[in-house]
Structure 1
């Protein structure tokens, strides 16, 4: 069974730790996801190096 990788990141607004499911088959990605705690939009940057995810988040600027 193939498990989807996860990453724990800190919301740049409320500073809560949140878990994100990652899609390794999509390669390098950038998308917006709402924080499940404060509901503010977060830009998520994902890349995979040797099958290990590197995840960076930043606030979405209006």
Structure 2
């Protein structure tokens, strides 16, 4: 998947403070999986954005 190189890394870093490497890996995996599901459903997926990642972070049940 392609990633928007203009990601708001500060927002992502703020939201992932205290997360383990495994948590962050899982968040990215889920974000990419959502893009694959979009593609399977017939949509042309956009680049992975900070909003995509933040949406996954907000729904992640492993939050510290």
TM over 0.5: no
Q: Which structure carries more relative contact order (alpha carbon 8 Å, separation 6+)?
A: 2
When the two structures are superposed, what TM-score results if normalisation uses the length of structure 1?
0.27
Select the structure that is richer in helix: 2
When the two structures are superposed, what TM-score results if normalisation uses the length of structure 2?
0.27
